[in-house]
Structure 1
Amino acid sequence: MSIFAEVPDAAWVNLPAPIARLTLKDQDALCKQGQRDHFVYSIRSGWVKIIETTAEGAERIVRLIAPGGFFGVEHLSMPNSVCTHSAVAFGAAEVCRIPLESMHYLGTNYPKIFELIIEKCVEQLNQSDEVIVLFSSGPLCDRIAHLLSFLARKTVNNEGQFHLPSGADFAALTGSTVESVSRVLAEMKKEAQLIRCANGLYRFAQNTQTLKPSKSHHRQSF
């Protein structure tokens, strides 16, 4: 059930600022690190990646936000602060952009909403810590299998179909190189473990969370 389900239809008319529904393409940016932002974002479908840029200019994906998730909640208590990370579409996505004044209005009139959103954000952080470890530990074929399994489980598509990340995103999430990732994905496709569907999405056919390492991967560079 949606976190906003208890809000009556009439309340949406009284919001001090309108909520925008955004349709994003892969790699579209929602907010950028170091810039001010005055919104909370709720993901309706698709994924958003949270990126940290180091002082040297290197980018690292630190979190993946799944459908039903939120980000930007920290701005509710620090409305004039700058974004500590960038948020970018991880494949096609639909996102609701909620102005802070409207979030405060909903929180004041429907306080249960704030409680549920905070619970959701804590859950997101705990899950992110767990999966980032899985994505960065063990042989590369296992890391990629964990990532594909995660995407298949968390997708809202009833068929378990998901957007296949770019080679650069795979490399950033697994701590590898685009070339090494490409070799593993090519073998998965050849063995029908990773299947492209007619709609352009993918399905992960592996039943277990780890793959058998093939001989071609024993000496590959990560």
Structure 2
Amino acid sequence: MVSAKAPKHVHYSSSGNLNYRVAASVAQKNTGHRYLVNVNKKLGLSPGYHTQRLARLRDYQRSKQRALATTRAFKRKRLEKKAKMHKKLASAEVREGVSYQTGCSLDAAISDDIQSIPAPVITPEYLPLEPKTLNDSCMTYFDVETTGLCRDSHIIQLSAVNSQNTKFNRYIKPARPILPQASEVTGLKFQNGKMYHHDREVQSIGIPNAFKHFYSLSEMDS
């Protein structure tokens, strides 16, 4: 409210009317828009028809907005909007890393009382794997599909293949709804306790059983 009467892009701090602008904001907050009518009457001035009409209209809109803010539907919408913003922020953190985390520019390892320059950190040398070593290695490649991009998203599909060309694929029952954006990419939907892949019902299991089968695949490759 103060920013509307004394915006930051206009320099009012050195002018004499800043106090009046702040006082007008306080009066509007406490008594509503009719404060201007009361000020005019106290000074012996006529507030005018349009000023009184606008004050009544603004006060009516304010009372209506306050009444609406106490309803259950408004509170639910506000919570949904807050949750949506939280998911959007979490997705941005996953995609862009620490640029969206609190205090990402602070380094706890740096202290103000450092008296000497630390020794340079030597980067270790990584030797490339020999083809023979790579062929003899036991590897398992896997991929997952989730309910969304948030950090608390649930896995809905786990697929893998090992070095013996043994393939693995399990559909997993999620404990939270699948976002429409994720369904468009994966083609997976979970409705009434059943999993559908491109509108075709597929067998789904719980996450503990899925990981149990996945571990057995890894043990076959070891």
TM-score by length of 2: 0.22
TM-score by length of 1: 0.22
Q: Which has the higher strand share?
A: 1
Q: Which has the higher helix share?
A: 2
Report the structure number with the largest CA radius of gyration. 2
Greater relative contact order structure (CA < 8 Å, 6+ sep): 1
